[in-house]
Structure 1
Amino acid sequence: MKFVCPTCKEELEFDDRSENEKKTTVIKNTKEETSLADTVINYMSWFVAFPIFIIAHKLLPNPDWIFNLDRFLIGIIIIMGLRLILKKFRVGVIGALIISLIWLSYGSLAGEYGFISVYRDYKEMVLTMIKNPHPERIVLETLKPFPNKSVIKKAIDFENPLVRNFAVASSKNFKEVVGDYKEHRTIIQCFSVFKKINSNWEYVSDPVSREYFAKASESMEHLSGDCDDYSILMAACIKSIGGTSRLIHTNGHLYPELLIGSKKDLKKIIRLVKQKLFSDESYNKRLIYHIDDYDQVWLNLDYTEKYPGGPFMSETILGVLMLD
């Protein structure tokens, strides 16, 4: 209700509703706010629950219940648990979400890390976890810090037709050997790509003013650049023909590694490199590799030598960027 004050002549407003009506309005507004927050939390629960479920599914023993009811129960427990945790810290969660949305909006408009990048990374992570026997490793590697991670991953444009065509054309150096080692066909083709890039690479420094990360589709044209560009091109080409690689960050340097299998495959791959594919280049030299916590063997593909498994520039590992 509005009225004019006889003293100050100003129009004033008076809430003439009863106390019950006022309380009802406050409760209604509170419920609407709570409902919106709950909806947001529910969506976030599903977003986080899916990768957690994949890990639980692969790590927990399977009692083989009818209709996979055990897996269904695990999923329900994970979602309900996440909802309880997120609701308990509702204010912090909503605040973090708002900040993230602002940051991603800016990134999308500026052509940097934005909503499309988040979708691509989430999709890639989930699909990789489904295929990988150790999905927890994917999550741990994703959370680990790695300098310029998003820029480097964006530069590895392995789906670019030019990169794919370059990799396919470069994979034919050892086609006469593949027939005798069909189980290692992809590894041999990756070695062929390594030979093409490694033997033709020309080192060119970045601009003095800043670090420049050339896309694989740029570097393949002239086969030149610094260690970042070399690693990006190598990783993109390997991924485009079905190989699995990762990037290692060490003191002032970045280099690629190729997954060649487990320990049981190591002797055969070493013999393949030293006797069949790179016998002259690797004569009287040893192959250098890393064995991770899951007994997977990663062979060094740096440009320190003209054969896979050359020496490390530095044995210190400051970060690992998984690409598959």
Structure 2
Amino acid sequence: MNKPGGITFQQIKNKLQIPRPWDMVIIFLLNILIAIPVFIIIHQNIIDPQWPFQIDRVLLFVLIVVVIQLVLRLMRRIIIICIALYMVALIFGSLSGNYGFYSVFEDYRFMIYTMSDSPNPQDLILSRLLPFPNKSRIFNAVEYENPKIRNFALMATTKDFKDVRGYPKYRTLIQCFAVFKEINSRWNYVSDPKGREYIADASESLLYFSGDCDDHSILMASCVKAIGGTPRLIHTGGHIYPEILIGNKADLETINYLIKKVLFVKESNGKQLHYHIDERGQVWLNLDYTATYPGGPFMSEEILGALTLY
């Protein structure tokens, strides 16, 4: 028996309920907010079946929304508590620099873009690769421990993309893209002496940002390696160009979004990323001097060798 003036459990439940139809509207909105990060996490940790038109991703997202909707409807009597807990989690995430309101917004933009735009890989037949020419000379020319190279790379990271926030996992790659932008905006192609293969040290090319394709590749690889990136050089019949390791296919989706919607919007507008996938499933993005954005078009020549600079 309840005491006079006391509040019963039923009264508490009634106060926590939201009248129809607003309860269903709020449940749906809360559903979408929860479904976005759940979709991103699941999608990045399952095998990509490579279905056409991204049908697999659409079905996955619909399934997640349906499941969360059913769960929230079962909990609609305490929906205010659910909203409060979710808001507290986002506020705490925003204040602590973890997953917060901005992250939800960025995940939504990333998800929509990823489902509508995906890059296509280029073929790299490993069984046909030959020994890399001038391998020891190139290794010696990649002066990633030279203070001049390191200082130039640091300067580039403070000049471009320093204010990009919300992608801590890809901070080093974003800084490497700043190096790419600085070098390629200055590079002046100059041929080697006739009849001779001249390989310049990275510090030599740094003086005037001039040289041929192997000089550019050595300088780019040196600067990328100097700030924590992993570069490699690709040799074709008459060309050498640098690539950078960006991770797996899930990382590629994020990098695709970053390049085309955040970092190189004008340069990459309406264009695709160009990359190779090695025997371990790792993705390497093109950084050639002919490209105006990371992942720009390859020169159409057969690949003869690859030199990874771990």
Q: State the TM-score bracket (shorter-chain normalisation).
A: 0.5 to 0.7
Match of 1:284 in 2: 270
1:247 aligns with 2:226: no
Aligned residue type for 1:169: M
Aligned residue type for 1:176: D
Aligned residue type for 2:208: H
Match of 1:224 in 2: 210
Q: Distance in 2 between matches of 1:299 and 1:315?
A: 16
1:314 aligns with 2:300: yes
TM-score, scaled relative to structure 2? 0.57
Aligned residue type for 1:212: Y
Q: Distance in 2 between matches of 1:180 and 1:265?
A: 15
Match of 1:166 in 2: 152
Q: What is the CA distance between 1:161 and its match in structure 2?
A: 0.7
Aligned residue type for 1:222: Y
Q: What is the CA distance between 1:144 and its match in structure 2?
A: 6.0
8 Å Cα contact 1:251/1:316 also seen in 2: yes
1:274 aligns with 2:260: yes
Question: What does 1:1-324 align with in structure 2 at a 5 Å threshold?
Answer: 145-172=131-158, 173-177=160-164, 179-324=165-310
SS in structure 2 of the partner of residue 175 of structure 1: coil
Q: Distance in 1 between matches of 2:222 and 2:300?
A: 23
Unpaired runs of 5+ residues, structure 1, are 1-139
Query: Structure 2 vs 1, CA of residues 202 and 317 (structure 1 numbering), >3 Å: closer, same or farther?
Result: same
Instruction: Describe the superposition over 1:87-131 as per-residue Cα deviations: whole angstroms up to 9, x where unpaired.
Output: xxxxxxxxxxxxxxxxxxxxxxxxxxxxxxxxxxxxxxxxxxxxx
Q: What is the CA distance between 1:264 and its match in structure 2?
A: 1.1
Q: Distance in 2 between matches of 1:283 and 1:181?
A: 21
Question: Number of residues paired by the alignment?
Answer: 183
Q: What fraction of aligned residue pairs are identical, expressed as a percent? A: 63
Unpaired runs of 5+ residues, structure 2, are 1-125
Q: What is the CA distance between 1:315 and its match in structure 2?
A: 4.6
Q: Distance in 2 between matches of 1:314 and 1:251?
A: 10
Q: Which has the higher contact order (CA 8 A, sep 6+)?
A: 2
Match of 1:114 in 2: none
Q: What is the CA distance between 1:256 and its match in structure 2?
A: 0.2
Q: What is the CA distance between 1:314 and its match in structure 2?
A: 2.6
Aligned residue type for 2:133: P
Q: Distance in 2 between matches of 1:239 and 1:304?
A: 21
Greater Cα radius of gyration, structure 1 or 2: 1
8 Å Cα contact 1:251/1:314 also seen in 2: no
Q: What is the CA distance between 1:157 and its match in structure 2?
A: 0.9
SS in structure 2 of the partner of residue 171 of structure 1: helix
SS in structure 2 of the partner of residue 191 of structure 1: helix
Structure 1 segments (4+ residues) deviating >6 Å: none
